[in-house]
Amino acid sequence: MYRQSLYYIMERAMINQNQLTPTELSFVSSYILRRGIDSRRQERHILNSIKFLTDAGFTEEHFSYVMKWETENGVRQPDLNKIVDVSYESFSGGININYKQYDPSCDKVVYSKYPLIYKDNKIQCWCITGSDRWYTPKKLLEKLIIVNERAEAEAKRNNNRYGFLIDAVNKYKQSYPLANVKADDKWFNTERIITIDFPSSSRMWIAINSHTFQETIHGYQDAELECLRLDELLNKFNNQ
The reported pTM is 0.58
Beta-strand relationship, 180-188 and 191-197: antiparallel
Going from N- to C-terminal start, the domains of the chain cover 2-157, 163-239
pLDDT value, residue 234: 83
Asked whether 151 and 102 are in contact (CB, 8 A), the reply is: yes
d(CA 142, CA 115): 18
d(CA 99, CA 175): 41
Partners of 67 in the beta sheet? 93
Amino acid (1-letter code) at residue 142: E
Amino acid (1-letter code) at residue 7: Y
Phi/psi for 48 (5° steps) reads: -65, -35
Contacts of residue 12, Cβ cutoff 8 Å, sequence gap at least 6: none
Helix 163-175 to helix 137-161 angle (10° resolution) is 40
| CA-to-CA separations, 95 to 38, 53, 92, 99, 111, in angstroms, rounded | 16, 11, 11, 13, 15
Amino acid (1-letter code) at residue 1: M
Query: 163-239 architecture in CATH?
Result: Roll (3.10)
pLDDT value, residue 98: 94
Question: Would you give per-residue pLDDT tens digits along the chain (240 residues)?
Answer: 444 444 444 445 677 777 777 888 888 888 889 889 999 999 998 998 899 899 999 999 999 999 999 888 888 766 646 788 888 888 999 999 999 998 876 678 999 998 888 888 888 888 888 888 898 989 999 999 999 999 999 888 777 667 788 889 999 999 999 999 998 766 556 788 899 999 988 999 999 887 788 999 998 888 888 887 888 878 878 876
pLDDT value, residue 123: 86
pLDDT value, residue 157: 79
Torsion, CA 144, CA 145, CA 147, CA 151, rounded to 10: 140
